[in-house]
Amino acid sequence: MSDLTTSPHTATTHATSLGVDSRKLGVWAFIGSETLFFATLITTYFVFAPVNRARSDFQDPRAFLDIELTTVLASILLASSLTMVLALAASRRGDRRHFTLWLLATVGLGLAFIGGQAYEFSHLYHEGLTLSSSLFGTTFFVLTGFHGTHVAIGVIWLLSTFFKVRSYPDSPENAMDVEIAGLYWHFVDLVWVAIFVLIYLI
Amino acid sequence: MKGHTGHHDAPAHAGHDHSDRFYWIVAGVLAVVTALEVGLFIVNEQHLIAKWIEVALLLILSTIKGAAVVMFFMHLKGDAGIFKFVFLVPLAFATTLLLTFMLLFSEHVGIAG
Q: Tell me the C-alpha to C-alpha distance, in Å, between residue A73 and each of A111, A167, A195.
A: 11, 32, 11
Q: What's phi and psi for A128, nearest 5 deg?
A: 105, 5
Q: For position B109, what pLDDT does the model report?
A: 60
Give A73 to chain B, closest Cα distance, Å.
Answer: 11
Instruction: Report the residue of chain A nearest B7, measured CA to CA.
Output: A171
Instruction: Report the residue of chain B nearest A92, measured CA to CA.
Output: B11
Which of residues 58 through 97 in chain B touch A, CB cutoff 8 A?
Answer: 58-59, 61-62, 65-66, 69-70, 72-80, 82-83, 86-87, 89-91, 93-95, 97
Which residues contact residue A166 at a Cβ distance below 8 angstroms, ignoring those fewer than 6 apart? Answer: A96, A99, A100, B1
Question: Chain-centre distance of CA B93, in angstroms?
Answer: 16
Give A31 to chain B, closest Cα distance, Å.
Answer: 7
Q: Tell me the C-alpha to C-alpha distance, in Å, between residue B84 and each of A25, A111, A112, B27, B68.
A: 10, 30, 31, 22, 14
Contact pairs from chain A to chain B, CB under 8 Å: 196
Q: For position B1, what pLDDT does the model report?
A: 36
Does residue A193 register a pLDDT over 90?
Answer: yes
Does residue A18 register a pLDDT over 60?
Answer: yes
Q: Could you tell me the end-to-end alpha-carbon distance of chain A, in angstroms, rounded to an integer?
A: 37
Q: Which amino acid is at A22?
A: S
CB contact under 8 A, B90 and A165: no
Sign of the torsion formed by the C-alpha atoms of B58, B64, B70 and B72: negative
Q: For position B5, what pLDDT does the model report?
A: 38
More reliable by pLDDT, A79 or A19: A79
CB distance A156 to A173 below 8 Å: no
B5 inside 8 A of chain A by CB: yes
Domain boundaries, chain A: 67-202
CB distance B42 to A66 below 8 Å: no
Q: For position B78, what pLDDT does the model report?
A: 85
Instruction: Report the residue of chain A nearest B43, measured CA to CA.
Output: A201
CB distance A2 to B77 below 8 Å: yes
For residue A92, give the nearest of A4, A161, A13, A15 by alpha carbon: A4
Identify which of B20, B90, B105 has the shortest CB distance to residue A36: B90
Percent of chain A with pLDDT over 70: 93
Identify which of A47, A51, A82 has the shortest CB distance to residue B27: A82
Q: For position B107, what pLDDT does the model report?
A: 67
Between CA A154 and CA A83 the distance in angstroms is 14
Q: For position B19, what pLDDT does the model report?
A: 78
Does residue A139 register a pLDDT over 70?
Answer: yes
Q: For position B88, what pLDDT does the model report?
A: 96
Give A142 to chain B, closest Cα distance, Å.
Answer: 17
* Position A6 confidence tier, pLDDT thresholds 50, 70, 90: low
- pLDDT for A28-47, tens place per residue? 999 999 999 999 999 999 98
Which residues contact residue A195 at a Cβ distance below 8 angstroms, ignoring those fewer than 6 apart? Answer: A42, A143, A144, A147
CB contact under 8 A, B58 and A201: yes
CB contact under 8 A, B86 and A7: no
- Enter the CATH code of domain A67-202: 1.20.120.80
Q: For position A17, what pLDDT does the model report?
A: 76
Tens digit of pLDDT per residue, chain B (113 long)?
333 433 333 343 433 345 799 999 999 999 999 999 999 999 988 888 888 899 999 999 999 999 999 999 999 998 999 999 999 999 999 999 999 988 888 766 655 54
Q: For position B16, what pLDDT does the model report?
A: 39
- Which residues in chain B have Cβ-Cβ distances shorter than 8 Å to A92? 9, 11, 13
Between CA B2 and CA A193 the distance in angstroms is 36
Interface ipTM: 0.88
